[in-house]
Amino acid sequence: MTRETSIDELAKQLDESLNLDGKHASPEDTTATADEDNFLEELSDGKSTYSVPSAVGSLSSDDSSDDDIGRVKFIGPAPPLTVHRPSLPAGVTSIFANTASTIDSIAEMINSGSAKNIIVMAGAGISTDAGIPDFRSPGTGLYANLQKYRLPYPEAIFTIDYFRRKPKPFFVLAKELYPGQFVPTISHFFVKLLAKRGLLHRHYTQNIDCLERVAGVESDLIVEAHGSFHAAHCIGNKCRKEFPQDWVREKIFNDSIPHCDKCNSLVKPDITFFGEGLPARFFDLLEGDFASCDLLIVMGTSLQVHPFAALINEVQSTTPRLLINRERVGESKTRGMGFDFDGSFAGSMPHRDALVLGDCDEACLLLADRLGWTDELLGLRAAFIDKRKLEHI
C-alpha cells in the first residue's frame, strides 16, 4: 500500500481481503462458494470444526487430520477459518455451555450480560489487513523486510542504543508506518463496537500504529503496551520535552531527523524500544483491569514478547479466554500457565479456553454474526470510509 492510494482503492482492497462480496480474491481458486455461503449456518447446526474454502495460501502439516491442528504450520496468508472443538479428558467440565461451538457460547455470555468487562489483547495480526506488515511472519514480516537498511541485526532499528548512534534507519521506516496512511481493519472496528456498547473494559495492544485511535476507540480505554506514534519526547535524560505529533510528522515526511529545540537531543516518538521500560500506564492499570475482567479476547499475537505475553495469566482462573490467531500460541506446559484449549491441565477447574484459527477480521465477522452485530460492525467501517472520502474531496 502506498501513500498515494486513494480512499476508494483502500475500501476496495479491504472488501477484497475480507471477501465481503462473496468472491475470492485469487483467480486461481475455483472452489465453489456455496459452502462458504453456508458456513455460519453449518456451525450453528453443530459442525464445530469447519474450514471455509478460501484462497488464503497453503497449509502444511505433519498430520492431515483437522483435529490435530496443533501441528499445523501455515505459509503465507491465514488458514481457513476454523473453530476448534476441544477434546476434554474424562471428568473435566467446561465453562462453555456448547463445547461443540465455543464461539456460540461466548456470544451468549456477551448477549446475556455475564461478560460485560471485556479486555482485548491485540498484536500485529489485527493490522496486517490494513497493509501494515507484521513483525514475525516468515518472508513477509517487518523484520524480514529490513535488510535494505543494512542493520547489524533486524531488531537494531528498535534498539535505543543503536538509535542514539544511527537514527536515520528508524525515521525512514517511520515514514512508511506513520499513522494516517492506513485504514483500520474490521478487527479494530470490532474493538470500537465493544467500546460503543459499553463492554470494553480495556484494549491492550502491542501495536504502534494507533489504528484503534483512528477507528474511534477513546484514549482512556487503550493501553499501548509498547508505546505508539501518538506522542513524542526528547530523549535527553535531563530534558524530556514533549513535542506534538504533527510537528514530528512534518519532520519525518520532510526526511529530516527531529531534534529538540531546547537541548538538541534526538526527538523520538513514544515507541518503546528494546532497552527502554514499558509505559507507566501499562503497570498502573494491569492489576485492577485483569482482576475485574470477565472475558479475555486475544487477537493476532505470537505471545512471544514479555511481559505482554504473560497478561493472559492475570485474569481470574474461571474467566473465559478466546484466542483468535493464525496458529496456536501461548499454550500450557504446566497447570495455570498459558492457554489450555483441550482441558489437559484443568483438573478440578473447568475448561475455559476457546480457539478460532484464521484471519482476525474473518473471525470478528463470525463473532459479530453470532452476536447479531454484523450490520452495526460493517456500518462503523462504512461510516469511516464515507468520512474519509469527504475529507479528500
| Cα separation, 118 vs 120, whole angstroms | 7
C-beta of residue 26 within 8 angstroms of C-beta of residue 5? no
Contact 339, 331 (CB under 8 A): yes
Nearest to 135 by CA among 124, 127, 126: 124
CB half-sphere exposure, 246, CA atoms < 13 A: 0
How distant, in Å, are the alpha carbons of 70, 95, 103, 352, 354 from that of 48?
A: 16, 17, 9, 17, 12
Q: Which three cell numbers stand for residue 289?
A: 483491569
Other beta carbons within 10 Å of 357: 23
Active-site residue identified among 226, 259, 306, 392: 226
Listed in sequence order, the DSSP H helices in the chain are: 7-18, 34-37, 39-44, 102-112, 160-165, 168-177, 186-196, 211-215, 245-253, 280-292, 360-371, 374-391
Beta-carbon count within 10 A of 242 CB: 10
Nearest one of 348, 337, 347, 341 to 320, comparing CA atoms = 341
Q: How many residues does the chain have?
A: 393
Catalytic site includes residue 230: no
Hey, which residues are catalytic here?
226
